[in-house]
Amino acid sequence: MADQRILNGRYELGELIGRGGMADVYQGRDQRLGRRVAVKMMRPDLARDPQFQSRFRREAQSSASLNHPNIVAVFDTGEEELTDQHQHEVACPFLVMEYVSGSTLRALLRAGDVSIDQSVTWTSGVLSAVAYSHDHGIVHRDIKPANVMVTDAGQVKVMDFGIARALSDSSATMTQTQAVVGTAQYLSPEQARGEQVDSRSDLYSVGCLLFELLTGRPPFVGDSPVSVAYQHVREDPPVASAINPEITPALDSVLAKALAKDVDARFQSGEEFRTALAAAHQHGTTVAAAGAGNTSENEDHSGEAATTVLAAGAVESGDSDATRTQALTAVHSSSGSPRAGRDDTLHGHQLAAHREPGADPDHHDDHDDAVSSVMTSQNARDIDQRERKSNKRIIIAIVMILLALGAVAGGWWVMNEINQRNIEANQVTVPDVADLSQNDAQNEITRAGLRPIVAEVHDDEIARGNAVGTDPEAGEIMQRDEEITLNISLGPDQVVLPEDLQGASEATVRDTLEELGVSISSVDYVSSASIERDRLVSTNPALGSTVAYGSSVSLQMSSGQIEVPSLMGMTASEAEAALNEVGLSIDITVTEAESAPSSGFDTVTHQSPDAGAPVDQGTTIGVTITTEAPEPDPTEEPTPTEEPSPTESSGSPSPSASEDDEESPSPDESEDN
């Protein structure tokens, strides 16, 4: 991959920004249009699998046919031929998609603090996307938080149509291996049963997504995908408001309909679901606002009514002028008119009522003096009566205030006692979940009445994926439905590369290293005498060494071939040992020569294949060993016949001949020796 930086002569690959089950996602740049894109390329180790090829092709076709602001757009598709070191070509398909800067809902849920408003807004965006895809005859079949992104601007983007199918496809429930497709926590009951699915299955998955956004957990959790799928089919989901008290009954009703087991009892379209969700959320907001407004309004009206009734009661409570004066003054004061003017006017009417008819008001006689005296005495009594009543009112007011304070204090004590008892009744003990799997730990905490929020930490003793503990710790007392941090182990901060990975397949090595938190930077192919083809020979850093969590290593895989060593000038035994050392065998051919070769007799003078040539493991290498040709045997040459000398013919042997006969052994004696 590192050498293939430009795809189709147009798309420039950048850094790796994501990794999925069957593909890697790179940030890229469209050189022709000058825009950022995301390039999704199938992993080379899966590119030969026809099922993955089919799924990848289906994602391209499904996504490319949908043009909606809430769906990640697909711009282009193609294949890139990659050649490894042993000249094997692999066609890796890729998609060129819209680059989205943001976070997935899965990441936002893990970060926590997802409000009800955000949950409703994001779910509405998802419903808008699936409604559009349903209108175009495509069922997504894998709606889940990891497949929904929220951009930095807050826009929802649905992605990964890898297992989407057309509504008319009767095989839309199973893969060709008859395995149920989808993710267990978000499977509809009909998907879990392996039945045919339609658009309402997507709406069920959106209901599961909304439930998790509102409560922080999926509607069903279990020890395994099978147990979760069983719950989708057989069990009713919990009431969301029991987990999050801020959820309104209207939202509970929407969730109940979205998560109905019977497809006919669910929402029948994404738009219907979206409308009901918006109305339920708006209703809850309106009721809260209206409740606050009505309280203040009632307080104002009750105050006015109390003032009016008090005034009327005062007027009807007595016949004396003084009492009537006080009552009318109270009413007039409440309407904002001056009190002094009404007092003066009423007092003038009182004086006029005690005068004789026809009397001159300006005439001051004894009668007037008597009247004045009587009026003075009457006024004094009235003033005294008013003072007594005023004092009585003050005493009553003080008593009422004391009674009110006592009632408030008593009410506070009662409410405090009730609250204390409620607190004690809702207290739960944090369970011990150390070393349990993540699913088991979440279930244990949920059964205890708490809401787990997952956080990942490094731990040298707890295996990766298991629970390290909680915060607060086990044994602590908490209130029911409170949030608690569940720490999940990422494994040690320093990890050891397992030595037993040597000889394993690339897929096994990749899965093992990813479990340890180590990524793979590159894959190279090297010669090996003992490791089979496509099996791991070594890593860099080496197997058995310690590396930091999150670091990367390079793989050296066996090419299945060996480079032939040079055997020239070696003896037969030396050549055989050299070939056996690298996993090759030898075939020796011996030739004879009268003249010594440059390397000398009894050495390799020729080999096939030549030194440096790549050959498969176990190949037999032919070598030629040259030996010295033997000298001719003198006993095999014919002895020339000589004419007898005159002496020999006379029968007298010469002395020299006699000596030769005595000293030279016969041929039989020579062979015996």
Q: Residues marked as binding for ATP?
A: 40
Name the binding residues: 40
At 454, give phi and psi (nearest 5°): -80, 135
Whether 98 and 73 have beta carbons less than 8 Å apart is answered as yes
Whether 257 and 266 have beta carbons less than 8 Å apart is answered as yes
Closest CA to 284 of 337, 252, 248: 248
CA atoms within 13 A on the CB side of 570: 16
Integer distance in angstroms from the first to the last C-alpha of the chain? 78
DSSP category for residue 625: E
Range 432-435, long-range pairs (CB < 8 A, 24+ positions): 432/474, 432/475, 433/467, 433/469, 433/470, 433/474, 433/486, 434/462, 434/467, 434/468, 434/469, 434/474, 435/462, 435/463, 435/466, 435/467
Burial 618-653 (b: 16+ CB within 10 A, else e): ebebebebbeeeeeeeeeeeeeeeeeeeeeeeeeee
Residues across the chain:
673
Rounded Cα–Cα distance for residues 103 and 401 (Å): 59
Active site residue 113: no
CA angle 436, 222, 269 (to 5 degrees): 145
Closest CA to 106 of 38, 18, 28, 238: 18
Helix (H, G, I), strand (E, B) or coil at 672: helix
Q: Of 142, 160, 202, 459, which one is the catalytic site residue?
A: 142
Residue matched to tokens 């004092």: 391
Query: Is the preceding peptide bond at 653 cis, omega within 30 degrees of 0?
Result: no
Closest CA to 207 of 111, 280, 287, 284: 280
Whether 307 and 334 have beta carbons less than 8 Å apart is answered as yes
Q: How far is CA 198 from the centre of its chain?
A: 26
Tokens, residue 640: 């020339």
Rounded Cα–Cα distance for residues 71 and 130 (Å): 9
Whether 158 and 129 have beta carbons less than 8 Å apart is answered as yes
Tokens, residue 228: 């979760």
Whether 247 and 117 have beta carbons less than 8 Å apart is answered as no
DSSP category for residue 552: E
Burial class (CB in 10 A: 0-12, 13-18, 19+), 336: exposed
Rounded Cα–Cα distance for residues 138 and 65 (Å): 10
- Beta strands 11-19 and 6-7, pairing class: antiparallel
Closest CA to 7 of 95, 74, 121: 95
Residue matched to tokens 């029968």: 651
Query: Is the preceding peptide bond at 646 cis, omega within 30 degrees of 0?
Result: no
Q: Say how many C-beta atoms besides its own lie within 10 A of residue 203's C-beta.
A: 28
Q: What Rg, from alpha-carbon coordinates, does the chain have?
A: 51
DSSP category for residue 505: B
Contacts of 570 by beta carbon, 8 Å cutoff, 6+ apart: 578, 603, 604
Q: What is the side-by-side strand order in the sheet with 552-558?
A: 519-526, 552-558, 536-540
Active-site amino acid positions: 142
